[in-house]
Amino acid sequence: MPDKLHIATYNIHKGFSHFKRRMVVHQLRENLRTLDADIIFLQEVVGEHTRHAARFENWPRGPQHEFLADSVWTDFAYGKNAVYDEGHHGNAILSRYPIARWDNVDVSAHRFESRGMLHCEISIPSWPENLHCVCVHLGLFKRGQSQQLLALEQHIEQLVPQQAPLVIAGDFNDWREMASRILVERLNLVEAFEFTGGRAARSYPSSLPLFRLDRIYVRGFHVVKAQVHQGHPWSKISDHAVLSARMIRR
């Protein structure tokens, strides 16, 4: 029975290095594989971009999430959030286990920031209930974040059974550290780094993380280890560090 679960979350910066100097999606794919995670929560994933496809000779032919998943993560889901003339980008979840169903919910607080939360139900062999996974990328401003956290709370209360295992991860842009007031206090979740180290992880910028922007919240698990993957080679790929957590189902 696979009671252990290894998950990771990463804002991939649309497959470009800092300040969009280099296209690094191939290096990104190789580095993601070294994590050996069962499920990966990704933000700023490009579904299509005609200008980049024309400019870069080795730009992936299909969506980035399919290119990154390849043959390692056999199931994946993509939630389109921001749409523009050249294409679109959003959140994605890559999984070694079957995704039974998924939905993408628009939580944009205003027209200048297109944000969403991607909710997947994942079927893990021998587990009595599906694992619920929600990948989020919240807005930059306090008011919008507050609205989005309330929307997330309502979504979980309505659609996720109390006894079902749950993981919410992603880029919360939460340098004010507001998210736990709702997700921990009201929804009985545990933040992986708060549990293992007493405080949310520093994850931005990846070269020398100072700000605590990214999160991994869980319910129904015991967190064994939480890790920030920073420095070389990660700092050459995105402006965010990767967060990962190893957990055992309760």
Q: What is the pTM of this model?
A: 0.96
CATH number at 4-249: 3.60.10.10
> pLDDT tens for residues 150-179?
999 999 999 999 999 999 999 999 988 889
Q: For 191-209, write each residue's pLDDT tens digit.
A: 999 999 999 999 999 989 9
Instruction: Let me know: does 52 contact 67? Beta carbons within 8 Å.
Output: no
**Joined tokens for residue 72:** 């390692």
- What does the buried/exposed string (b/e) look like for 142-166 if buried means 16 or more CB atoms within 10 Å of the residue's CB? eebbbbbbebbeebbeeebeeebbb
**Omega prior to 128 cis, within 30 of 0:** no
The Cα–Cα gap between 56 and 66 comes to 18
> Which residue ranges make up each domain of the chain?
4-249
Give the residue ranges of the chain where pLDDT is below 70: 1, 19-20
Q: Is 93 in contact with 42 (CB distance < 8 Å)? A: yes
Structure tokens at 118: 């991607």
Predicted pLDDT at 194: 97
pLDDT at position 72: 97
